[in-house]
Structure 1
Amino acid sequence: MTTVIECPTCNWQPDGEPHWTCTCGYSWNTFETRAKCPKCNTQWETTSCPGCGKSSPHNDWYFDSSIPKEPDTPEIAELKKRKKKLEERLISLGIKNYRVSHLPYLDYSKEEFQRPYDVGCRLIILNAISYSVHNLDDRPKIIEWLKKEKLWEQVSNNEINFLNQSKPNEDVLLDLSWKIESSILLGWVLNLFDNLHDITQECSDEVMDAFESKIPELGAETKDFLRDLKFRPLDQIYEENLLNELATTYFRDLMFSGKSDETQIDRVVSFERHQTLNWVRKFQGINEWDDTDTST
């Protein structure tokens, strides 16, 4: 018999690290001792999973790999395929112990997405906002252009305030300067280019040049660009959203655990992607740009 140890809920497998702490304060790899604390001899009946956070009877973690399992339905098989791909991406980024425990979490069929046209409008607006941060004197021309192109109705209240303020404060300018990352991301959502730049760094000049070659210049007509936009495959958009959602969860957990960041992820880039894709998929029914947050 070949024994496999894995979480009964999410299939996370122990990595040899001392993730478990007894009430006596001793930390160890519980699978080295069948859940018995080496210090105080307490025998634990249940074991929590570092990957999904669920607890299961300790004995349920041990499987005989020689016993064939019931075949999955095509739907379950597809969700497991998505789960494996997402978790492999997380591990490659340094997020080693986060697993999807609820397969329906990966099913995007009931999600309500924005229209490609509205995503295109938001892309243009965010690009204009990012430009305006570095060219404050050009804001009246940007306003005039957005109104002329009938995009002004889709400019958010916070963006309107920025475009009209005589002296925006530095925090506002810093926040809005990152919206170029959101605009580029929406270009990827609309399949204007094949790949996103690496999440470990902000966009390069080369990425910016390639992006700008695909969208209307500031001040130019936008009608033709907006007319025929289409999304890339929805499973790719949804996976990218979940990846950055789990990255947000990871970084928030670090704040409470005091552990060091083991990733090379640029947190601001990931935050922008998470927030932007929450808007694209109308997360929790939110439709307005200013109301979109990074809840997980």
Structure 2
Amino acid sequence: MILTGIIDTAFDEDRKEIVSWLKEINLWTGVSNSEKEYLKKKSLTKEDKIAASWRTEAVNVLFWSLGMVDILNEPIEECNLTKAHEGTKGKYGSLNNFIGQSEIRSTEEILDQTDLIYRILWAIRDARLNNRPYPNGYNPSIVYERHYALNWITCYQEDWDDITTDT
């Protein structure tokens, strides 16, 4: 839910309202240091907004892991922004409702996706290092966000800001 608020600011949602909402649903303490810095910035640059909007791909994975998104398509085309976080504030209202409507996928499903995205990321990095086109039309930005989210889910034992996507 925190990331959906961050993403909303990329599309001009008022950051003060997002901070108030996160405090209201008792999630402010879970907001990472870099997210707090972002939300408290005097003004956002175009680059800030682009980086925040890319988090939609991470949210898509997180929502998939909670059973709120049916499938993860090939990491070629960006996910539907509305589908990945459609009205989270209005749809779930409270953190308890959000948790209550979640159904965590099996460890096997999550680890299968983690393994797949790791292999795809390796293939992309290998292609980049050897000046070859990316295999299967994979979008490296989507792959990065998915890898980031899956590493966080699979207990890299790090805060969100400290996750790595090494291969």
* TM-score, normalising length: structure 1: 0.52
Task: Provide the rounded CA distance (Å) in 2 between the counterparts of 1:169 and 1:145.
Answer: 23
CA shift digits 1:20-69 (9 cap, x unpaired):
xxxxxxxxxxxxxxxxxxxxxxxxxxxxxxxxxxxxxxxxxxxxxxxxxx
Pairs within 5 Å for 1:141-152? 141-152=17-28
CA contact (8 A) 1:216 1:222 kept: no
Matched AA of 2:128: M
Task: Provide the rounded CA distance (Å) in 2 between the counterparts of 1:211 and 1:169.
Answer: 23
Q: Pick one of 117, 130, 148 that aligns with 1:257.
A: 130
CA contact (8 A) 1:199 1:266 kept: yes
- Displacement of 1:244 in angstroms is 1.2
Task: Name whichever structure is richer in strand by fraction.
Answer: 1
CA contact (8 A) 2:2 2:31 kept: yes
Q: Give secondary structure in 2 for the equivalent of 1:175.
A: helix
What is the aligned partner in structure 2 of residue 295 from structure 1?
Answer: 166
What is the aligned partner in structure 2 of residue 140 from structure 1?
Answer: 16
Q: Aligned residues, how many?
A: 167
CA contact (8 A) 2:56 2:84 kept: no
- The reply on whether 1:281 has 2:121 as its aligned counterpart is no
What is the aligned partner in structure 2 of residue 70 from structure 1?
Answer: none
CA contact (8 A) 1:181 1:202 kept: yes
Pairs within 5 Å for 1:37-52? none
Pairs within 5 Å for 1:46-195? 124-135=1-12, 138-195=14-71
Instruction: Describe the shift of the 1:216–1:197 C-alpha distance in structure 2 as closer, same or farther (beyond 3 A).
Output: farther
CA shift digits 1:120-143 (9 cap, x unpaired):
xxxx1111100011215x110110
What is the aligned partner in structure 2 of residue 268 from structure 1?
Answer: 141
Instruction: Describe the shift of the 1:170–1:149 C-alpha distance in structure 2 as closer, same or farther (beyond 3 A).
Output: same
CA contact (8 A) 2:66 2:104 kept: yes
Larger Rg over CA atoms: 1
Task: Name whichever structure is richer in helix by fraction.
Answer: 2
Matched AA of 2:3: L
Percent identity between the two aligned chains? 27
Q: Give secondary structure in 1 for the equivalent of 2:135.
A: coil
Task: Provide the rounded CA distance (Å) in 2 between the counterparts of 1:170 and 1:211.
Answer: 21
Instruction: Describe the shift of the 1:228–1:132 C-alpha distance in structure 2 as closer, same or farther (beyond 3 A).
Output: same
Higher RCO structure (Cα 8 Å, ≥6 apart):
2
> Gapped runs of 5+ residues in structure 2?
none
Task: Provide the rounded CA distance (Å) in 2 between the counterparts of 1:152 and 1:143.
Answer: 7
CA contact (8 A) 2:127 2:135 kept: no
CA shift digits 1:137-196 (9 cap, x unpaired):
x11011011011110011111110110001233332221111111112111101123212
Instruction: Describe the shift of the 1:277–1:263 C-alpha distance in structure 2 as closer, same or farther (beyond 3 A).
Output: same
Instruction: Describe the shift of the 1:255–1:149 C-alpha distance in structure 2 as closer, same or farther (beyond 3 A).
Output: same
* TM-score, normalising length: structure 2: 0.89
Matched AA of 2:4: N
User: Moved runs in structure 1, 4+ residues, more than 4 A?
Assistant: none
Matched AA of 1:178: W
What is the aligned partner in structure 2 of residue 229 from structure 1?
Answer: 102
- Displacement of 1:229 in angstroms is 3.1
Aligned alpha-carbon RMSD (Å):
2.1
Task: Provide the rounded CA distance (Å) in 1 between the counterparts of 2:103 and 2:53.
Answer: 27
CA contact (8 A) 1:129 1:159 kept: yes
Q: Give secondary structure in 2 for the equivalent of 1:263.
A: helix
